[in-house]
Structure 1
Amino acid sequence: MKVRFNHISANPGAMQTMLKLEGFIQTSGLDSRLYELIKLRASQINGCAYCLDMHTRESRKMGETEQRIHLLHAWREAPFYSEKERAVLELTEAVTRISEQGVPQDLYERVRTHIDEAEYVTIIMAINTINAWNRIAISTGMFPETETR
């Protein structure tokens, strides 16, 4: 495997923009373990090996269990996620696959039983950000152990 090019040196301004998005989410008050679940689930859907590797390691550092990491792709059938996490994971799937059915009203209402409007927007931004990272990594040929991000 070979990285196509170093996207950071090719366009530093783009990287700075992505880091500003990350900074917003990091200072928003969003639970960092929930953010890692969002990152992992979107990366699973998008097939981004680079991001899956990175965020699996980050989740472990934060104390996430191996069981929850391994069963994330089957979260609906696993009893190890809270109702809020389930709602956010479902929202992550809907936003990541937005062209399939958008975000149905019943999903929006389920999510809103756990979070207010401000956190809803933050979570949407978190989902958008990891989807952007996935697309950057995949498009530039990044893979686990690549040292360009």
Structure 2
Amino acid sequence: MERITYQDIPNGMFENLRTIEDSIINSTLDRKLIEMIRLRTAQMNGCAYCVDMHYKELKHFEETELRLSSLCVWEETPYFSEKERLVLLFTDTLTKLKSSPISQELFDNLTSYFSKEEICYLTLTISQSNTWNRLMKTFEFTPGNYKVSK
């Protein structure tokens, strides 16, 4: 049972968040990588609604079952490229923030694969995903009902 229904959400709240979503989707980042970030963030935050959503989105983008089932243990598997592993490390680091800054080494490694603009969008994707996770954990939208738009 939802604590807060879609009808209870203040006017403009989701629309403003969707504007940010549009800027992420329209960036030069690969859509499958964006969804991988979102699924990983949802796993880390224990957001069942978002796990369901981003799992389905990745299936739509033809992600393999092996990689989907192994994302929660990505560090222990050989199924992800160096670029993906770096993004997953960045995702884990930003999702579990510490009081210290993001390491220079991690940032420098990101610049091997991404422009500064793309690093901005990676950061925004991770931050936005954490925002959605926190909203869904509070609102308790029912997982399992999400349908991928074709």
Q: Does 1:31 align with 2:30?
A: yes
Shift, 1:111, TM fit: 1.5
Equivalent-residue separation in structure 2 for 1:8 and 1:17 (angstroms): 16
| CA shift digits 1:70-125 (9 cap, x unpaired) | 00011111111111101000000111111364422211111121111010001001
Give the aligned CA root-mean-square deviation in angstroms. Answer: 1.5
2:137 alignment partner AA: I
Equivalent-residue separation in structure 2 for 1:64 and 1:19 (angstroms): 24
Distance 1:91 1:10, change over 3 A: same
| CA shift digits 1:38-63 (9 cap, x unpaired) | 00110011000000001101100100
The alignment partner of 1:56 has SS state of helix
Q: Report the TM-score, using the length of structure 1 for normalisation.
A: 0.92
Equivalent-residue separation in structure 2 for 1:88 and 1:31 (angstroms): 12
8 Å CA contact 2:5, 2:141 repeated in 1: no
Percent of counterpart pairs with the same letter? 34
The 4+ residue runs of structure 1 with deviation greater than 6 A are none
Find the counterpart in structure 2 of residue 90 from structure 1. 89
8 Å CA contact 1:94, 1:101 repeated in 2: no
Shift, 1:8, TM fit: 5.1
Shift, 1:146, TM fit: 5.0
Gaps of 5+ in 2: none
Q: Number of matched residues?
A: 146
Find the counterpart in structure 1 of residue 76 from structure 2. 77
Shift, 1:5, TM fit: 1.4
Gaps of 5+ in 1: none
Greater share of residues in helix = 1
8 Å CA contact 1:25, 1:125 repeated in 2: yes
